[in-house]
Chain A
Amino acid sequence: MRYLLTACLLLAGFFAFSQDDLLKELEESTPKTNDLTLATFSGTRIVNGHSVETRNRNVLEFIITHRFGTINSGAYEAFGLDNSVVRLGLEYGITDRLMVGIGRTSSDKTFDYFAKYKVLRQSETMPVTLTAFGSAAYLGLKNEELNELSTPDKMAYTTQLLIARKLSSRISLQLSPSYLYRPVVNQDTTVNNLISLGMGGRFKITKSFALVLEYYLRLNDHSDSPYNDAIGVGLEFETGGHVFQLVFTNSQGMVERQFMAETTGDFFDGDIHFGFNITRAFQLGRKK
């Protein structure tokens, strides 16, 4: 009886071994895949600036970004709640790599549009995702000073190279060399051709909850510039089809020219605007 049991065990062991062998053979015969890295960032924005992410083909995203006044404006202004700026945007993925968007911001009645394209996508053989970004913004505000400008002079153009790497499932980092061109500026305080370096990151705390940080360093602004570098800190929640970000930033503007070049608040002096970025994605059509 004992022998029989031993024999059975041996046999079972043999079968287990040979079954695993078959699996091993299978694994060896399947070619290695080079999967693209998914979701370096949850949303198309880190805080104020764009992330490397684009929306996939046929995805239409409605994005509401919103900044209150500064928290240190006191109880009379309800700590900033009385004074808010909103951008409404519609953004669409033409292909899985190319995306376009339009938006309208209440500050300076600015109308903006952009396109971004994923040139490189991180995978096992590609270390980074590189996205090219271009945008234009038009100052729609009418006042005596602005009415004297022609339409081209009211534009601002931004070009960015967004370079990001998802280091692990928790940490993603991005560098964003940026060039902003404004045809008409006050030559005593700022420059027409502003170069800045954006830096950003996402740190996941749980699968759906993350901390996001962003800093835009101006590299060649006028030495008498009254402006500050834009700093943003946010908490991000992601659920199916939505990204919610609660942000704290010294820039009330959400368009590139506004946060890259015209940030008036001093973050460390308490000129912090509380705000939200809220997105809702809709899948249009059917996948091919």
Chain B
Amino acid sequence: MALEGTAQKLVAEKSVITFFSDALIEDIKATNSKTSSIFNKQTGELAFSVPIREFQFIKKLMQEHFNEKYMESDKYPKATFSGKILNLDASQSALQQVKATGKLTLHGVTREVEITGTALSGDKIILKSKFKVKLEEYNIKVPQIVFQNIAEEVEVTVDITYKPQ
């Protein structure tokens, strides 16, 4: 039983999480390739752990502000998701629309979320999703700064390739 369980578990081999914010003066974009994730293809259970400090910005100063002022990554070093993909048929090799529900923890705030995306199964499974996060819902306060206007909603893109553990 335990052995069987292990065989069903897949781990992230390659992960790219980006976020994008439409801002008044300049668009803000950052990429994170250090996310770890486990996916159990039998039960659909899914867990993510995203180290906030690993979001890479083109402007280092912006990266510093993102960590210091918005995400407070010294206090909340990780964003996590713990949930379940509801409708994945792992035996099907065509691209499928899937839906995941679970708990998204960001900036110390946990919320029940429902996220849609696509899955492509084979030896490896590729999960992709694009969703919006409202900063206010996670208690992320953006200081009203004269020179930098940050959108209240950011777009998060997830692209993860899983391989057997």
Minimal beta-carbon separation of B22 from chain A (angstroms): 16
Residues of B within 8 A of A38 (CB): 64, 67-68, 74
**B113 on interface, CB distance cutoff 8 Å:** no
Count B-side interface residues using an 8 Å CB cutoff.
40
Interface membership of chain B positions 56-82, coded 1 if the CB is closer than 8 angstroms to chain A and 0 otherwise: 101111101101110011110100101
Q: Which residue of A has the minimal Cβ distance to B69?
A: A207
Residues of B within 8 A of A59 (CB): 60-61
Known pairs A22-B45, A207-B68, A240-B62; A33 contacts B84 (CB<8 A) = no
**A220 on interface, CB distance cutoff 8 Å:** no
Q: Which of A19, A33, A38 has the most CB of B within 10 A?
A: A19
Minimal beta-carbon separation of A84 from chain B (angstroms): 25
Interface 9-residue window, one of B34-42, B91-99, B114-122, B152-160: B34-42
Q: How far is the CA of A204 from the CA of B72 in the complex (A)?
A: 14
CB of A30 within 8 A of CB of B82, answer no
Residues of A within 8 A of B73 (CB): 35
CB of A240 within 8 A of CB of B61, answer yes
CB of A283 within 8 A of CB of B59, answer yes
Residues of B within 8 A of A18 (CB): 43, 45
A-B contact count (CB 8 A): 88
Residues of A within 8 A of B51 (CB): 33
Known pairs A208-B143, A240-B145; A26 contacts B60 (CB<8 A) = no
**B139 on interface, CB distance cutoff 8 Å:** no
Known pairs A207-B69, A207-B143; A287 contacts B60 (CB<8 A) = yes
**B164 on interface, CB distance cutoff 8 Å:** no
Interface membership of chain B positions 92-115, coded 1 if the CB is closer than 8 angstroms to chain A and 0 otherwise: 000000000011000000000000
Minimal beta-carbon separation of B3 from chain A (angstroms): 16
Q: How far is the CA of A208 from the CA of B84 in the complex (A)?
A: 39
Residues of A within 8 A of B90 (CB): none
Minimal beta-carbon separation of B112 from chain A (angstroms): 11
Report whether over half of chain B's contact residues are helix, strand or loop; otherwise say mixed.
mixed
Minimal beta-carbon separation of A62 from chain B (angstroms): 14
Residues of B within 8 A of A29 (CB): 36
CB of B37 within 8 A of CB of A26, answer yes
Q: Which of A37, A38, A281 has the most CB of B within 10 A?
A: A38
Minimal beta-carbon separation of A247 from chain B (angstroms): 21
CB of A19 within 8 A of CB of B47, answer yes
CB of B145 within 8 A of CB of A208, answer yes
CB of B40 within 8 A of CB of A22, answer yes
Q: How far is the CA of A20 from the CA of B83 in the complex (A)?
A: 8
**B87 on interface, CB distance cutoff 8 Å:** no
Known pairs A208-B145, A240-B61, A240-B62; A26 contacts B74 (CB<8 A) = no
Interface membership of chain A positions 57-89, coded 1 if the CB is closer than 8 angstroms to chain B and 0 otherwise: 101000000000000000000000000000000
Q: Which residues of A contact B (CB under 8 A)?
A: 15, 18-20, 22-23, 25-27, 29-30, 33, 35, 37-39, 56-57, 59, 96, 169, 206-208, 239-242, 281, 283, 286-287
Q: Which residues of B contact A (CB under 8 A)?
A: 36-38, 40, 43, 45-49, 51, 53, 56, 58-62, 64-65, 67-69, 72-75, 77, 80, 82-84, 102-103, 141, 143, 145-148
The 10 closest A-B pairs by CB, nearest first: A240-B148, A23-B47, A56-B60, A22-B47, A23-B82, A239-B145, A207-B69, A283-B59, A26-B47, A19-B82
